Amino acid sequence: MDLISIFDLSHAELKAILEKAAELKKKRREGVKTSTDLEGKTLALIFEKPSTRTRVSFEVAMRELGGKVLSLNWNELQLGRGERVQETAKVLSSYVDAVMIRAYRHATVEEFAHYASIPVINGLTDFEHPCQTLADLMTIQEYKRQLAGVNVAWFGDGNNVCNSLIGGAALTRMNMRVACPKGYEPDEGIVERAKNMGCEVLITANAEEAAIDTDVLYTDVWVSMGDEAEREQRMTDLQIYQLNEDLVKRAKKDAILMHCMPVHIGEEMTEVVMNSVNSVIFEQAENRLHAQKALLLHLLFSTKNPLL
Ligand code: CP
Ligand code: NVA
């Protein structure tokens, strides 16, 4: 099994991953030693783009579960000199037990998964960031004590993180509002799929409309990795979607403020909002570790080594 899109998980699998993640977090906080269920397993991490949280949380997750990690930059591999994805996928399948890839194009990760015979995890593409959504759902569950019926409002660019979050909302029966200018909407196919699953998704150009009485306010950078050439235009187009005190005032008093990080302070989120009591961004980042541990156990623990 792979995790390329958040929709690859059923409602039951997602629920089980979130429960396991919560259990692992509790144990780690209590200082209880994590099980070494992944002893003998190796995860390769391939990065075509930079990363702090994804790289470190996957590496620590694997180590704490008793496994090993190889962290590889695209250009250190023959991929950087034109070796095809498909041959790389076949070769790595004979060396390691799973691969996580962060790539520019979603199609690259899909192609890798198609040719690999081991689990492949999407560590962010231009289209989705499902590992982020696992941590986001875990965080919302912690603060709101439930997921079904929670109102989540997204501000700014309807990007990869937003697409996966909409999928996560559909799987957990949360309601989504996305406030963005024309041309920055989340993927139409994902929105349709979520709606067909019974999820309420409102797309509006009006940031205040999205913020009113919401339980969660979420934003992400205005210039994602790969969008740098559009920086100036994006700064202008997205300005009115900034998460600032005025916007936060319209939400519920106990609404949480989320950001997948890295934050571009003063652009999509003000420093005051980032450091306010309702901001949960560091908890959210920590939850990447616990959620990915649960994901790795889900994908790898049941895969028995045929030689044993
Ligand atoms: N949120 C996230 O994926 O962060 P990194 O780019 O640092 O991995
Ligand atoms: N949307 C951002 C997320 C970074 C974690 C990007 O793709 O760069």
User: Other CB atoms closer than 10 Å to residue 116's CB: what's the count?
Assistant: 22
pLDDT at 306 over 70: no
CATH 3.40.50.1100 assigned to domain 132-285? The reply is no
CA of 159 to the centre of ligand 2 (A): 8
140-185, pLDDT tens digit by residue?
Answer: 999 999 999 999 999 999 999 999 999 999 999 999 999 999 999 9
Domain ranges of the chain: 6-128+287-300, 132-285
Average pLDDT value for the chain: 96
Same fold, 6-128+287-300 and 132-285: yes
pLDDT at 32 over 90: no
pLDDT at 255 over 90: yes
- Please report the atom of ligand 1 found closest to the CA of residue 124: 3
Give the model's pLDDT for residue 35.
75
Give the model's pLDDT for residue 5.
98
CA torsion angle 220 224 225 227 (round to 10): -170
Q: Is 160 in the pocket of ligand 2 (CB under 6 A)?
A: yes
Closest ligand to the CA of 54: 1
The 3-state DSSP composition of the chain as helix, strand, coil percent (nearest 5) reads 45, 15, 40
CA of 206 to the centre of ligand 2 (A): 23
Which residue has the CA at smallest separation from atom 6 of ligand 1? 51
259-304, pLDDT tens digit by residue?
Answer: 999 999 999 999 999 999 999 999 999 999 999 999 999 999 765 4
172-183, pLDDT tens digit by residue?
Answer: 999 999 999 999
* Spatial contact of 155 and 205, defined as CB atoms under 8 Å apart: no
- The two structure tokens encoding residue 202: 């409102």
CATH 3.40.50.1370 assigned to domain 6-128+287-300? The reply is yes
What's the predicted TM-score (pTM) here?
Answer: 0.96
CA of 103 to the centre of ligand 2 (A): 11
